[in-house]
Amino acid sequence: MRRVVFAIVAVIFLFFTFIAGVGCGLLISGGDTLSSGDRVAVLRVEDVILDDQTYLDSITAIKNDSQIKALVLRIESPGGAVGPSQELYSELKQLRKEMPVVASIGNVGASGGYYIACAAEKIYANPGSITGSIGVVAQFVSYEKLLAWAMVDVEVIKSGEFKDIGSPFREMTGADRQYIQELIDNVYTQFKDAVGESRGLDAAQMDKVAEGKIYTGAQAKELGLIDELGTINDAVAYVSESAGITGKPNLVYYPKKKSQLMELLQSRVEIPGITGLPSKASFGLFYLVDIIN
């Protein structure tokens, strides 16, 4: 009799241990551990793009998940730094060799955000979405007059004429402006070439649309910058059909959100001595639209 009772208790204990383990796994991962069947990944690219590592890690995870058959790129971004935008574009183009990739622009997918969308085989946008803004910008601030008023001298020792270009401690020279303009023109050409190739637009058409202007989704469709007016649900339906998924697909979202447990644990950890440091560098060239100051 004792053995029977012991066995029942052991089974109950193992059952609740299993349930607790699964629950903890879901809390820690914040993922879709229990979902099965063919999946469609939704990669959310949001806000200003300054660091692409989280997105690159997500793309790697998507590649390594054999259940993921297609990707919807959901864009809510006004753009960002040139390097990360180009890197994401290249990685998504590579991913297209393995699965269908479709872009869906929400409220805004402009400049670098639009650049990334061009990696997809098809772009959806809402009629009122903000897109376009094909161009490059670099901004510099000069404190030279302010320093002169404050009677503050700044000495710079450098190894070449352009080593301190963009320094806030002096105004730009004509040679500085010409040098920066050449850089911007080169990166601008890269942007136009990428859009022209992906959208099938010739040089004359690109000159017409690549003036830094923003467009609504409806205008962008007329100009050939997007393919369809539609929602993210339309994009999911199309990419699911392209991947041969029957029935309603399981959606798995990237980057993975932190679980409530992890957020709680991290919120309790304070690291003294490093607060107030800038988290991102502001120097560089940007595919970025500034709609609202």
Q: Which residue has the tokens 């193992």?
A: 14
Burial of 236 (C-beta count, 10 Å sphere; 0-12/13-18/19+): buried
Query: Active site includes 163?
Result: yes
Instruction: List the catalytic residue out of 90, 158, 163, 282.
Output: 163
Residue type, 200: G
Q: Estimate the share of the chain in helix, then strand, then coil, as percent rounded to the nearest 5.
A: 45, 20, 40
Residue 209 CB contacts under 8 Å (≥ 6 apart), including other chains: 132, 134, 201, 215, 223, 224, 225
Instruction: List the catalytic residue out of 77, 85, 111, 133.
Output: 111
Q: Compute the distance between CA of residue 290 and CA of residue 287 in angstroms, rounded to an integer.
A: 10
Q: Compute the distance between CA of residue 24 and CA of residue 21 in angstroms, rounded to an integer.
A: 5
Q: Compute the distance between CA of residue 74 and CA of residue 45 in angstroms, rounded to an integer.
A: 6
Q: Compute the distance between CA of residue 53 and CA of residue 259 in angstroms, rounded to an integer.
A: 20
Residue type, 14: L
Query: Active site includes 145?
Result: no
Q: Compute the distance between CA of residue 227 and CA of residue 206 in angstroms, rounded to an integer.
A: 16
Active site residues: 111, 163
